[in-house]
Amino acid sequence: MNRTYWKLVRRPVGDIAPGDLELVTEALPELAEGQFLLQVIYLSLDPTNRIWMSDMEQYMPPVALGAPMRAGVCGRVIASRKAGVSEGQIMAGLGEWADHIVSDGSFMSPLPQLPGVPLAATYGTLALVGPTAYFGLMDIGQPKAGETLVVSAAAGGVGQIVGQIGKIKGCKVIGIAGGRAKCDYVVNELGFDAAIDYKAEDVGAALDRLAPEGVDINFEQVGGSIMVEVLKRMRIFGRVPLCGLISSYNDVTPTEPPGFWTMMLMRRLTVRGFIVTDFAPRFGESGAALAGWMMGGQLKTRQDIRPGLENALETVKELYSGGNFGKLLIEVSAP
Amino acid sequence: MNRTYWKLVRRPVGDIAPGDLELVTEALPELAEGQFLLQVIYLSLDPTNRIWMSDMEQYMPPVALGAPMRAGVCGRVIASRKAGVSEGQIMAGLGEWADHIVSDGSFMSPLPQLPGVPLAATYGTLALVGPTAYFGLMDIGQPKAGETLVVSAAAGGVGQIVGQIGKIKGCKVIGIAGGRAKCDYVVNELGFDAAIDYKAEDVGAALDRLAPEGVDINFEQVGGSIMVEVLKRMRIFGRVPLCGLISSYNDVTPTEPPGFWTMMLMRRLTVRGFIVTDFAPRFGESGAALAGWMMGGQLKTRQDIRPGLENALETVKELYSGGNFGKLLIEVSAP
């Protein structure tokens, strides 16, 4: 039996280019004792993929040249020589851009299936982006009723969840997204109070109009000029959960925005960078809260599902141009 | 009876210049019911004085043009028409660059006198800089035994206390100060593990030598290029209590250091600006801890006491060139 996967051939310079990764087919090795074989159903494409491809400063080792590209995956166990893992089980965790994965269970755990909820929604919400949204907003953002929360990349995987948790916690929520469709979606479908279309509007002017009181929490995913406009409007004791800086990941020579050091001092801001795995010991807490909100109808999420492992390389690039609408997944095999 | 005080005449541009403030003598008004008259003993000169003189973004209203210059003061009640405040009592709080102050008690509280400790040391430690050091380090820095703490302006009012609390908490403490005498003092007298003379040494190279493991806590008071060198060496999950940015207060056109946004994200740093008054409800906690350490001999502090209210304007400028050695006080009248 063969498996097909994407191999990192060279580190992208600027935008990801054809040839940076190559699609390879190889014979699958026999399962050793303690291993299982996962047939990948969904491959999660995330902004951090571009970081892992590079050798910039990052929070895990970069993917080695010649190694399979790393990714979040979810799949079905089709053979197992590992105690406690049985055929047919759905597992999710850290894997590869591949149609099959041999795993010893490291960084993999069973994915609970919620009644009446499609697997893509369960995986796309509970597995990775949900905990990111939950811990970033709850632990660092510390939302209080009546406060104003701004979330960039609002219609993306994390952003849509952040905004809805903000509403559950009684905040005024303003999303920033690219294009009318995304803005309408977060307001009309998800219940955000307002949205700013950064492709058509002056973000600073829109913030002045929509949040003349200023911003208590900036859930930051984008960086660059949009971040600068939000930061300028932070209120005293404001919090900035720093989740991502997607606007700079393709930069050959990154230009750091100014530090706002004087403002951070005078307004007593808190800025804290985080990675979801920092909170791994508490994933039970986030899973229970997110599943409860989903089952109760307070949390809706949208997935942007694209077919075919062979399209992963072209598809991941859309994250950096805002081409995805919801959590971006590749459907590698039928759920 | 007359009083003499410094009046803010114009806002300094760049360095404080003669004529920005004027020494004025006026007749004291009669005490109204609920007021008391304080004879000022010590006037506290602090980096924030320069902020209050300006109209830059700040955490209190700036001093109004034509108004007495604001300052921390400590003095003796020499007349009282306020219930609960009696002649001879020592009070400390927010006052003015003046020899006498009429107060209704707002932002003033009795200063406990520690047996065997001179008033200048009690005031210079317990009243303002002590709580700043205590809450900034304990609440934001969250020192753990074995961690590496760097404190800039190490021989100044706040810095000397930060470093000693760091040692009490089991940290490796590295101070940054200007000149051999200050560096020797924090190491030999206060027990810091090491000190870097930023006037004679390459701060980055010295940090690489003294803290090859990196920095867990950067207690930041200075900003500019020294801050940049420390930030570059922050460890994962590092904390930056942002207490001051004295190197920029005289800037006509402040240049913000880069934000280190990518580093804050990848290393999951926490940066939090604070002002000591944010912690006012908990001053009892800091007072008890600091007094205990002082009485127990674990906390020594040095004051740099200069005579004469008339010298306040020339003296305050030394803060920005590093001319003070310890907490800078003007002795306005005999203690």
Name the DSSP letter for residue A311. Answer: G
Mean pLDDT computed over A52-60: 92
Contact yes or no for A260 and B256 at CB 8 A: yes
Q: How many domains does chain A divide into? A: 2
Q: Are residues A65 and A175 in the same domain?
A: no
In a domain, A152, yes or no: yes
For residue B100 the two structure tokens come to 């006498």
Q: Are residues B151 and B82 in the same domain?
A: no
Q: Are residues A269 and A308 in the same domain?
A: no
Q: How many angstroms away from the CA of A62 is the closest CA of chain B? A: 12
Q: Are residues B219 and B272 in the same domain?
A: yes
Mean pLDDT computed over A191-208: 98
DSSP for B64-78, written as a single string: PTTSBPEEEEEEEEE
Q: Closest Cα partner for B49 from B283, B330, B334? A: B330
For residue A312 the two structure tokens come to 């992963």
Q: What is the CA radius of gyration of chain A?
A: 20
In a domain, B6, yes or no: yes
Q: Are residues A221 and A175 in the same domain?
A: yes
The type of residue at B208 is D
pLDDT at B13: 94
CB atoms within 10 A of CB A88: 8
For residue A218 the two structure tokens come to 């900036």
B254 close to A (CB below 8 A): yes
Chain A residues with beta carbon closer than 8 angstroms to that of B245: 261-262, 265
Give every residue of chain B whose pLDDT is below 70, as ranges. Answer: none
| pLDDT greater than 80 at residue A255 | no
- State the average pLDDT for chain A: 95
Q: Are residues B35 and B159 in the same domain?
A: no
Chain B residues with beta carbon closer than 8 angstroms to that of A55: none
Taking each continuous run of H as one helix and of E as one strand, the counts in chain A are 11, 15
A33 close to B (CB below 8 A): no
Query: What pLDDT band is residue A65 in, cutting at 50, 70 and 90?
Result: very high
Q: Are residues A72 and A12 in the same domain?
A: yes
The dihedral built from the CA positions of residue A302, A307, A312 and A317, taken in this order, carries a sign that is negative
Give chain B's end-to-end CA distance (angstroms, integer): 21
Q: Are residues B309 and B174 in the same domain?
A: no
In a domain, A216, yes or no: yes
Query: What pLDDT band is residue A108 in, cutting at 50, 70 and 90?
Result: very high
Q: How many angstroms away from the CA of B326 is the closest CA of chain A? A: 23
Q: Are residues A259 and A140 in the same domain?
A: yes
Q: Rounded to whole angstroms, how far apart are CA atoms B304 and B323?
A: 10
CB atoms within 10 A of CB B195: 27
Pick from A57, A236, A258: CB nearest B258: A258
| pLDDT greater than 80 at residue A274 | yes
The type of residue at A196 is I
Contact yes or no for A273 and B264 at CB 8 A: yes
Q: Residue A272's closest chain B neighbor by CA?
A: B270
In a domain, B192, yes or no: yes
In a domain, B214, yes or no: yes
Query: What pLDDT band is residue A269 in, cutting at 50, 70 and 90?
Result: very high
Residues contacting B146, CB < 8 A, separation 6+: B170, B171, B172
In a domain, A182, yes or no: yes
| pLDDT greater than 80 at residue A254 | no
Q: Rounded to whole angstroms, how far apart are CA atoms A218 and A216?
A: 7
pLDDT tens per residue, range A146-195: 999 999 999 999 999 999 999 999 999 999 999 999 999 999 999 999 99
Q: Collect contacts of B275-280 with beta carbons under 8 A, ≥24 apart.
A: B275/A265, B275/A268, B275/B59, B276/B128, B276/B131, B276/B132, B276/B135, B276/B136, B277/B59, B278/A237, B278/A268, B278/B135, B279/B131, B279/B135, B279/B139
In a domain, A256, yes or no: yes
Contact yes or no for A269 and B268 at CB 8 A: no
Residues contacting A188, CB < 8 A, separation 6+: none
Q: Residue A80 is part of a domain; what is its CATH number?
A: 3.90.180.10
Residue B153 in 3-state DSSP?
coil
Q: Are residues A196 and A317 in the same domain?
A: no
Q: Are residues B193 and B265 in the same domain?
A: yes
Q: Are residues A156 and A50 in the same domain?
A: no
Contact yes or no for B258 and A259 at CB 8 A: yes
Chain B residues with beta carbon closer than 8 angstroms to that of A236: 59
Mean pLDDT computed over A100-117: 92
Contact yes or no for A268 and B59 at CB 8 A: yes
For residue B276 the two structure tokens come to 């000591």
Q: For the stretch A105-133, what's the b/e string if a residue is b when 16 or more beta carbons lie within 10 angstroms of its beta carbon?
A: beebeebeebeebebbbbbbbbbbbbbbb
B251 close to A (CB below 8 A): no
Contact yes or no for B271 and A271 at CB 8 A: yes
Chain A residues with beta carbon closer than 8 angstroms to that of B244: 265
Q: Residue B277's closest chain A neighbor by CA?
A: A268
pLDDT at B249: 86
Q: Which carries the bigger pLDDT value, residue A84 or residue A249? A: A84
Chain A residues with beta carbon closer than 8 angstroms to that of B275: 265, 268
Contact yes or no for B244 and A260 at CB 8 A: no
Q: Rounded to whole angstroms, how far apart are CA atoms A134 and A32?
A: 37
Q: How many angstroms away from the CA of B192 is the closest CA of chain A? A: 26
Range of the domain at B309: 2-111+302-331
The type of residue at A320 is Y
Q: Residue B231 is part of a domain; what is its CATH number?
A: 3.40.50.720
Q: Rounded to whole angstroms, how far apart are CA atoms A136 and A244?
A: 11
Name the DSSP letter for residue B86. Answer: -
Is residue B16 within 8 Å of B50, Cβ to Cβ? Answer: yes
In a domain, A170, yes or no: yes
Of B277, B293, B321, at which residue does a domain stop?
Answer: B277
Residue B161 in 3-state DSSP?
helix
pLDDT at A116: 87
For residue A107 the two structure tokens come to 């960084």
